[in-house]
Chains A and B, each alone.
Chain A
Amino acid sequence: MDGRSQRVCSGRRRQSGSVGIEVASVDALPEGGHLVAKVVGRDILLVRWHGNVYAIRNICPHQSQSFEHGRTHARLTTDSETGDLIEMPDQPVVTCPWHGWEFDLAKGGCVVDPGYRVRTYKTSEVDGKIYVDLGTPDRRARTDDAPSGDEWANP
């Protein structure tokens, strides 16, 4: 669990030039790390993947488990002709530590059944701090099946 499992107190107000609420220092979240922050009463999982910080509501919609001790890895897709598994390194998914359900860190959809969703949030890093914007679902990744705003689970 390198660089993971560190809880932080948070919820400080917006800083000038930032977007959202300060939740952690940049140094607290190394590459591949998981960090749970309590933000205005919500547990949010922060994940750093390929340098980017992702934020996702820390409740699996299956049995309400925390993602903290799960694993983040590249989404796997299948070559339609050969059946070979292909890694999608720009599409990280977090795996629930209990039953292995996988969720797209950018958009929150369940890999197997996109009908299950977890809310994700936009993040930013300013002056050594990580900020989470509670009001903006993160849509920086693919938009082919992005849900409308009212479809996000666990708002």
Chain B
Amino acid sequence: MRYQGPIVDVDVHHRWKNDAEIVAYLPKKWGDYVRDAKGSVPLTPPWVTMGVFLSGGGRRMDSFPPDGGKPGSDYETMKEQLLDHYNYFRAVLTYDVGEQAAFPNQQFAGALCSAVNDWNIDTWLSNGDDRLRSLVVVPSATPEAAADEIRRVGTHPSMVGVLLPVNPLGRPFGDPIYHPIYKAAAELGLMVAIHPSPGDNHGVKFVGGPANTGIEYINQFGAQAMHYISSYIVQGVFEQFPDLKITIKEFGVSWLPTLMWRLDQNYDLLRRESPWVKKLPSEYIREHIKLSTQPIEVGKDPGAWVELMSTIEGVEDMLCFSTDYPHYSFDDPAYIARILPESWHRKVFCENACRIYGWQVPEGVFRAAEAVR
């Protein structure tokens, strides 16, 4: 079934054209730290090399802008391929993918995040396109400094949340060490988004240690997200910050029925383990968690996926549409519309995201779309 209504895309990756743009925003001390004879040392941390996933380096091969820059660096290309190509109401810009937040030099990571946020506000969020919103990227290895950064730039009207793209401390995100971040976000009414990143290969300990290959890394996203959500519940994040909303971006969704079932099955045990578990875990998840649709795990029988997800009552209230543009795993809105039941379209493509970001649902756009059907 087609969907022609307004779209909110909660995961669009933008980036700077070259590192010099960001270096210009660094304090002199840190600018001198990274400048070399040719420009600057790379501002992406030296993670374990996993090879090039696909021909486009993990990007859509048609997304390289005409100026020779990297995908996601050119507004006009994004406008043509995404914002204007589909009926976009909002796009939430999530960097590419912000792993600077976990640069091993934690002091530098803080300065780098501030530079990235300032660059973002001065460029993409000031270009006159009211469809664009973004997230505060924070030095997540130093949660108090991260909270300071949230309070510094989180009041900007186009900053609608906080991005945790990497987990540099190797502890699940519900761990109390991260709570200053949630406290600051809750104070400002900002949602928190977590998103996988190659940087996780350092901080998150998979079975036996970091993944050796890209395919091992990508295929454990679901396990990672299940651990995060469980820790949010048992570590009391939602009891301490009752208005906080978390968006789980790009971790997939099909593991959710299993997680909710198992947590509820172990409710009595969890209550003994943690004083924070005061109601069924599935209730916390319904109340506080949204998941982005991409990557949607659908094979040749979309109906089987719908049937699986429908084992969660009200799951259509928990999903938010995302494309992952310009990454290679991009999901076209028309493709997702064919998979989802029509009765889910309005919520998943627009309303659920509007709810967590506090936006008025664009009823006029819905009416206009309905008129042309």
Contacts and interface: CB of A to CB of B under 8 A. Distances in A.
Interface of A: 62-66, 68-71, 95, 97-100, 115
A64 B335 contact: yes
Contacts of B54: 95, 100
Closest 10 CB pairs of A and B: A97-B61, A69-B62, A63-B335, A100-B54, A97-B62, A63-B332, A71-B55, A69-B61, A98-B60, A98-B330
Q: Label chain A's interface by main secondary structure.
A: loop
Nearest to B58: A100
A71 B332 contact: no
B334 interface: yes
B276 interface: no
A95 B55 CA distance: 9
A152 B80 CA distance: 33
A7 to B, nearest CB: 14
A64 B328 CA distance: 14
Contacts of A62: 335
B62 A68 contact: yes
A64 B329 contact: no
Contacts of A97: 56, 60-62
Contact of B300 (A70, A98, A115): A115
Interface of B: 54-56, 60-62, 300, 328-332, 334-335
Contact of B61 (A63, A64, A71, A115): A71
B331 A63 contact: yes
Nearest to B335: A63
A66 B61 CA distance: 11
A100 B54 CA distance: 7
A70 B334 CA distance: 20
A64 B334 contact: yes
